[in-house]
Structure 1
Amino acid sequence: MKNSLTLGDHGVRNGNVLHMFFRQLGGGCAMYYIDKELFDTRFNYDFTDIKDDGKKFVRGGKNYSRPTGCKRYAIKVNDKYEDNKWLGCSGDIKEWPVAYHGTKENNSHDIAKNGFDLSKCQRFAYGRGIYCTPDPETARLYAKEYVFQGKTYHLIFQTRVNPKTMVVVKKADLNGHGEYWTVPENGHIRPYGVCVYPV
């Protein structure tokens, strides 16, 4: 961040949620925020004390690993898409499977506001596409730690993925971790929640 620029120059407006954390090297300060207007609090969910051992959930024909241990803040999606059948949980054929995506703090606001942008992706270890995983613990490996009010957190996005275009590029190991999916088009992976985990 340049010292001559204001918060407004970075797109921060009155009422934005602003988290600050300090980097050890060089003493620089990085900014982390998502505009509170992008959230739909009616669908927030507290997974912090939930245990899913032995329970099975399915979304879009794929196993759904719930993000236990986090607080999930719902992103507004009602006015973004033609319908929300992709977001269903009844087994409807238009329902999409759940996946997770970990990212850098400076990408979070744009993803919550505009969705994913393949042109901003830099590494394609298993082929071109937006990477995600059905396992929240695998996604957390790509989440950057940040400190807010003296506590450290991870943030990952909860998404739905179009099953017709997603590609399984790496299968899970024996513990269920490490499966990766790629999505070749921006609109075929849709963020609908921000999962915040205490570290």
Structure 2
Amino acid sequence: MPDPRLCLEALSALLSPCSVESTPGSSQLSPQDLVNIVALKEFLKQQGFLELDYPSLGTMSLQDPDPDPDQDLYGPPPALTEGAPPGPRTTVKINPQDFFHPSFDYDFTHIKDGNRTFVRGDERYVRPCGWNRIALFVTRKYDDGNDSWLGTGKDAWPVSYQGHNMDGSLGIILTHSKDTDDEPGFLDAAAASLVSDQTKGRGVYSTPDIKMAEKYCKTFKSKVDGKTYKVVLQNRINPQKRRKCQRDNMWLVYVPEGLTEIETRALIQESIRPYGVLIKEV
């Protein structure tokens, strides 16, 4: 496992403007909370909100701190902060002992898969070659007690990667596929996309392509070793909740109109489960 302090810095980058610190007590957040917050931050920004209310954290700002070229090399300046000062930073306490799972760490830094093919959940798994995976403690953490979603068998969920500002701004539009339900809102968005290239699906985006995620990753300069790193979340995505986009390398968890914030959080929680934080030296 990399230096635990470096791991906490990676979490701070993902949860920005939160600052993550170590504690010998219980962690304030679980790995599932991590992906919930990352997803909710992006989704609520799409909707024009400036704050997120989250259990155990209270109200957190969605406005990034002042731009730092060493912190975020890929994301555009956040429009929501124009003319307004960044919100206060929230400190999050994490116990590395119950948050990370070093037994499942995997260093892909010097691995090249070439023509080798891997599959998870009947979808091609593009392994994160060039990255170092910090495993999260997610085994036996869900109500059904079944970890098959995390495996390689028929009940496994596909792998997706979550970057930063992956909100449809690249002209991503929705398509209807035979494995999705006929949700009126989803179909309306797809129909609208035929007449407007600005239409973007309402929800949470991720990608099965690590190279795409890298284009939209967060970066941070470590105070531990002085190096600059990219950071991405590695997740499993519920195949029943995932919607495919016109672009093959983008997936969407569609959030219907009218859901409350609690219902939206519940939808994300049943749709996306994290299992690794990926870091890569720039």
TM norm structure 2: 0.50
Aligned to 1:14: 23
1:96 pairs with 2:165: no
Q: CA deviation at 1:125?
A: 5.8
Residues 67 and 136 in structure 1, CA contact (< 8 A), matched pair in contact too: yes
Q: 1:56-98 deviations in whole A, cap 9, x for unaligned? A: 1110000000000011011111242121111111x32x21100
Change (3 A) 1:147 1:11: closer
Q: 1:109-137 deviations in whole A, cap 9, x for unaligned? A: xxxxxxxxxxxxxxx96312211000011
Supply the distance in 2 between the matched residues of 1:101 and 1:158 (Cα, whole angstroms).
Answer: 7
1:77 pairs with 2:138: yes
Aligned to 1:56: 117
Q: CA deviation at 1:103?
A: 3.3
Alignment of 1:155-170 (within 5 A): 155-170=231-246
Aligned to 1:176: none
Change (3 A) 1:34 1:67: farther
Question: Unmatched 5+ residue regions in structure 2?
Answer: 1-17, 28-66, 71-85, 166-197, 255-266
Q: CA deviation at 1:34?
A: 8.1
Residues 72 and 193 in structure 1, CA contact (< 8 A), matched pair in contact too: yes
1:180 pairs with 2:250: yes
Change (3 A) 1:32 1:64: farther
1:194 pairs with 2:277: yes
Runs of 4+ that moved beyond 4 A: 30-34
Q: Which has the higher strand share?
A: 1
Change (3 A) 1:65 1:24: closer
* 2:21 match: secondary structure: coil
Q: CA deviation at 1:24?
A: 5.4
1:23 pairs with 2:68: yes
Change (3 A) 1:125 1:45: farther
Q: 1:135-178 deviations in whole A, cap 9, x for unaligned? A: 01111122121111221111101100111120111324xxxxxx
Aligned to 1:46: 107
Supply the distance in 1 between the matched residues of 2:246 and 2:136 (Cα, whole angstroms).
Answer: 28
Q: CA deviation at 1:198?
A: 1.0
Q: Which residue among 224, 228, 233 is the counterpart of 1:152?
A: 228
Change (3 A) 1:101 1:75: same
Structure 1 vs Structure 2 CA RMSD: 3.0
Amino acid corresponding to residue 23 of structure 2 in structure 1: N
Larger radius of gyration: 2
Q: Which has the higher helix share?
A: 2
Alignment of 1:130-149 (within 5 A): 130-148=204-222, 149=225
Q: CA deviation at 1:53?
A: 1.0
